[in-house]
């Protein structure tokens, strides 16, 4: 391919890379996507909710044929205690009509492959089975393309967009990203469990194509700093668990053991009972937030999606929409720089401005303290859930004792286990996580 020169080379065929490819191809740019998997999506894993706000702007009629599982009408948030849960959530019927709250349970192997087809239709060239190991440099040391591990793998282009995922070896190679820090990286493991459509609907109180997304905090990860999830697909369940690598190391806990603990928890086991396992997957999630994103651009290079660290790991659990928005912003930046015929860092710096103005960096900035707050309060993952279970279960056990006496007794018990200052400090830290 060395005789061809592309306007843009995109490394990685996930939501960020494909959104960029779609926008660039629509604008008439010669764009090539290099995907290392057998097909786009074959290496990609997420929890399971696709947020489609950005997709809808790109492909307004995506609901016609996008391979989505269920539209999420019910979201649950539970604190797992040692033997039960304290939960809440919401379910709104208005989420049941278009645009369906822009939230759909999805399987990435199917969705990313579909999205790649759309980018191809728009005019992008997509090459699968192409692992990119390095850049190509001109005599001045300027990046002029990439080196893919294949015959004729030297590919030339004006700009390279790195959308190669959380491990982005390429962003690290050119020092845009530091090595991942165990404290700011989550390892998540997930299983796909086969039920039937009817069982999924009955078990999760769903009508028609409605879906449920249930998040579990507290002692989901066997005491480690982590959380679990259960999402309903059409006739399967996506069940998984993510935990901070630092915390798993401290607990000497393998992620699969944490997942098994979660799956066997009395509040979770009935949800997947009788199901047949279909797939087991593992993936990293960047969890550093605003203060640990990569440098976003340099001469002739932009970074998007997980490669840049764009994941909002709060209650909202958003990733794919940040990825797509960053892909769109990267594409727009390249188009603007193209009119100036200038792909230097100075010319590409508008990418950062675009993201700072969008929800991507505004949301990450708002929740920039989340990971530190959780890391600094490990009692949220074992001690507090245990205390809560004790207090609530005793309070709700009528045994002839007047409520006032009971409440005073429980208050005494609580203060024996934790100081008022400790409780206040934790509550204040949690405010950073939620609002």
Partner 1 sequence: MTARIFTGIEDKLGLDKFKAFHKPHLTLEKKDVDQKKLVEEKLFICPAKVYTLNDKNEMVISFENCLECGTCRVVCPEEIGWEYPMGGHGVTYRFG
b/e code 96-110 from CB counts within 10 Å (16+ = b): eeeebbbbbbbbbbe
Give the one residue of 6, 22, 46, 95 binding partner 1; rule: CB under 8 A.
46
Q: How far apart are CA 375 and CA 68, in angstroms?
A: 34
Give the DSSP letter of residue 22: H
Strand-pairing partners, residue 284, are 187
Instruction: Compute the least distance from the CB of residue 173 to partner 1, in Å.
Output: 11
Q: For residues 308 and 326, is the Cβ–Cβ distance under 8 A?
A: yes
Q: What is the DSSP string of 265-328?
A: STTTHHHHTT-EEEEEEEEEEE--GGGGPPP-EETTEEE-GGGTT--B-STT-B-HHHHHHHHH
Q: For residues 311 and 339, give the distance between their C-alpha atoms in angstroms, rounded to a whole number.
A: 31
The residues near 96 (Cβ < 8 Å, ≥ 6 apart) are 71, 73, 207, 208, 210
Of 202-210, 249-257, 389-397, 411-419, which part binds partner 1 (CB under 8 A)? 249-257
Between 221 and 334, name the residue whose CB sits nearer to partner 1: 221
CB contact at 8 A, 23 and 29: no
For partner 1, give the closer residue by CB, 232 or 347: 232
Residues 6+ apart with CB under 8 A from 117: none
Taking the complex as a whole, how short is the minimal distance between the CB of residue 100 and partner 1, in angstroms? 21
Kindly state the smallest distance separating residue 167's Cβ from partner 1, in Å: 4
Smaller CB distance to partner 1: residue 260 or 336? 260
Q: Which of 6, 22, 43, 124 is close enough to bind partner 1 by CB under 8 A?
A: 43
- Does position 180 interact with partner 1 (CB under 8 A)? The reply is yes
Nearest to 16 by CA among 119, 102, 109: 119
Q: Does 182 bind partner 1 (CB under 8 A)?
A: yes
- Interface residue with partner 1 among 202, 276, 342, 356 (CB under 8 A) is 276
Q: Taking CB under 8 A as the rule, does residue 148 contact partner 1?
A: yes
Binding residues for partner 1, total number by CB under 8 A? 56
Candidate segments 103-111, 214-222, 338-346, 353-361, binder of partner 1 by CB under 8 A: 103-111
Q: In angstroms, what is the minimal distance from the CB of 289 to partner 1?
A: 17
Q: How many CA atoms lie within 13 A of 167 on its CB side?
A: 10
Contacting residue, 41, 218, 288, 319, with partner 1 by CB under 8 A: 41
Q: Which one of 181-189, 361-369, 392-400, 405-413 is the stretch in contact with partner 1 (CB under 8 A)?
A: 181-189
Give the rounded distance of the alpha carbon of 155 from its chain centre.
30
* Residue 254 Cβ vs partner 1, minimum distance, rounded to whole Å: 6
Q: Counting contacts by CB under 8 A, is residue 1 touching partner 1?
A: no
| 224, 374, 375, 376, 387 from 379: Cα distances, Å | 10, 9, 10, 9, 10
Q: How far is the CB of 322 from partner 1 (least distance, A)?
A: 18
Q: Which of 169, 174, 376, 414: binder of partner 1 (CB under 8 A)?
A: 169
Q: Which is nearer to partner 1, 185 or 377 (CB)?
A: 185
- What sign for the dihedral angle of Cα 90, 95, 99, 105? positive
Q: Which is nearer to partner 1, 172 or 386 (CB)?
A: 172
Q: Quick one: 260 or 372, whose CB is closer to partner 1?
A: 260
Sole binder of partner 1 in the list 28, 137, 149, 266 (CB under 8 A): 149
- Residue 75, SS3? strand
Pairing outcome for strands 5-11 and 143-148: unpaired
237 lines the binding site for partner 1 (CB under 8 A): no
Please give the helix or strand (H or E) that residue 386 lies within, else none.
helix 383-395
Q: Does 23 bind partner 1 (CB under 8 A)?
A: no
Determine, following the binding rule CB under 8 A, whether residue 129 of this chain makes contact with partner 1.
yes
108 is an interface residue for partner 1 by CB under 8 A = yes
CA 61 to CA 117: how far, in whole Å? 15
Q: How far is the CB of 163 from partner 1 (least distance, A)?
A: 14
Asked whether position 197 contacts partner 1 by CB under 8 A, the answer is no
- Which residues of this protein are in contact with partner 1, per CB under 8 A? 36-38, 41-46, 107-110, 112, 128-131, 133, 148-150, 166-167, 169, 179-182, 185, 187, 189, 191-192, 236, 238, 245, 248-249, 252-256, 260, 274-284
């Amino acid at each position: 391919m060395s005789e061809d020169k592309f306007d843009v080379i995109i490394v990685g065929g996930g939501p960020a890379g494909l959104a960029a490819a779609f926008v660039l191809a629509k604008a008439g740019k010669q764009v090539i996507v290099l995907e290392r998997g057998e097909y786009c999506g074959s290496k990609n894993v997420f929890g399971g909710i696709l947020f489609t706000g950005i997709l809808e702007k790109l492909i307004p009629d995506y609901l016609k044929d996008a391979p989505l599982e269920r539209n999420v009408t019910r979201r649950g948030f539970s604190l797992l205690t040692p033997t039960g849960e304290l939960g809440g959530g919401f379910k709104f019927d208005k989420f049941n009509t278009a645009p369906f709250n822009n939230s759909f349970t999805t399987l990435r192997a199917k969705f990313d492959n579909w999205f790649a087809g759309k980018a191809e239709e728009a005019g992008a060239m997509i090459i699968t089975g192409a692992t990119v190991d390095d850049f190509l440099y001109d005599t001045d040391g300027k990046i002029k393309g990439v080196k893919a591990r294949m015959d004729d793998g030297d590919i030339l282009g004006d700009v390279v967009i790195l959308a190669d995922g959380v491990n982005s070896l390429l962003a690290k190679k050119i020092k845009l990203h530091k090595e991942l820090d165990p404290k700011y990286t989550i390892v998540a493991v997930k299983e796909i469990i086969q039920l039937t459509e009817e069982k999924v609907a009955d078990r999760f109180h769903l009508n028609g194509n409605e879906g449920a997304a249930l998040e579990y905090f507290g002692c989901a990860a066997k005491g480690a700093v982590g959380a679990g999830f259960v999402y309903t697909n059409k006739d399967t369940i996506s069940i998984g668990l993510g935990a901070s690598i630092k915390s798993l190391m401290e607990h000497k806990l393998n992620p699969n053991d944490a997942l098994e603990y979660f799956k066997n928890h009395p509040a979770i086991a009935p949800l997947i009972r009788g199901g047949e396992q279909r797939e087991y997957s593992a993936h990293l999630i960047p969890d550093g937030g605003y203060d640990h994103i990569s440098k976003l651009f340099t001469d002739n290079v932009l970074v998007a999606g997980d490669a840049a660290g764009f994941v909002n790991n709060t209650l909202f659990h958003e990733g794919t929409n940040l990825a797509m928005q960053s892909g769109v912003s990267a594409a727009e930046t390249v188009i603007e720089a193209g009119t100036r015929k200038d792909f230097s860092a100075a010319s590409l710096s508008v990418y950062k401005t675009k993201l700072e103005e969008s929800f991507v960096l505004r949301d990450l900035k708002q929740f920039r303290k989340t990971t530190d707050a959780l890391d600094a309060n490990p009692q949220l993952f074992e001690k507090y859930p245990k205390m809560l279970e004790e207090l609530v279960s005793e309070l709700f056990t009528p045994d002839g004792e007047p409520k006032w006496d009971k409440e005073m007794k429980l208050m005494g018990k609580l203060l024996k286990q934790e100081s008022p200052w400790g409780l206040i400090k934790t509550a204040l830290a949690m405010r950073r996580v939620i609002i």
